[in-house]
Chains A and B, each alone.
Chain A
């Protein structure tokens, strides 16, 4: 009840199985896009965190359709495919979900700048956490600059991802 009184709208019922799978499918697609070789010099290291964008979007709009188990499995899959120590992405995405879910009512039905500001703060935290985690795993102080560039690129790509996810959501699920 607390959420309703705070103005969180009731999520629309979705019967179409394709639409119900949309959050999981798009997050999985974001994972695959993240590891695509773009043949652009320097891009691999700075690849935006597309999966984080999808998790952020769906946790705000349809957390019911992107359950923690799906996030965990997608995260582990991404780690295994990317050659990253398994569990790292899963951990980061689950923590992101936990944080966003707590603040969800601040973002639902708000203007895009609010959403973007929230994502900026989340990305900053996530990238710092990732950097610390990798420094601990590898036992060396990793150059922080690439992490900063990656964060900036992730934040600047978010409007496009948000627009595309929002459009797909509206098309398949109706208003949302």
Chain B
């Protein structure tokens, strides 16, 4: 959970909320932030894209402010890496169909009632954290983001048919789940397993 931001974008929360306290207890290495204003929340997320981010996002804000749905779409315009859990005081049946579809199509990890047990929300955050730590594209993107812009745009791989890919291209292909991307994803995992089973300690413990 190093370098992880857990951000609650919700106008009914403050830093002393039990959920914040419990999040800090459960994820001591993560940085927990509460932001009441949805626009500022979005700004915060976009400014921290190089980190691992888990967002707990309120569905409804005060009059005149964007809704959680809008914020999710704005996040997704930029990245699919951020895990978003939608919280709402609304009855699920009153959320418009189209928005629910958008939640699925834009990879909202979960939609949860804000009267849910803290334990339930913690479980969802753990799930997000777990997925963050093992997703190949996440690991790769993290790795790429640690390199200079030049390095990121350098051709990295040439296929037998002569197409060249930069690291970013590879990442994009994995995200698109193209044939090439799927193959790369598989190869990266196989390589990792290969390294692991060679009996040499080449993979560090963390």
The answer to whether A and B interact is no
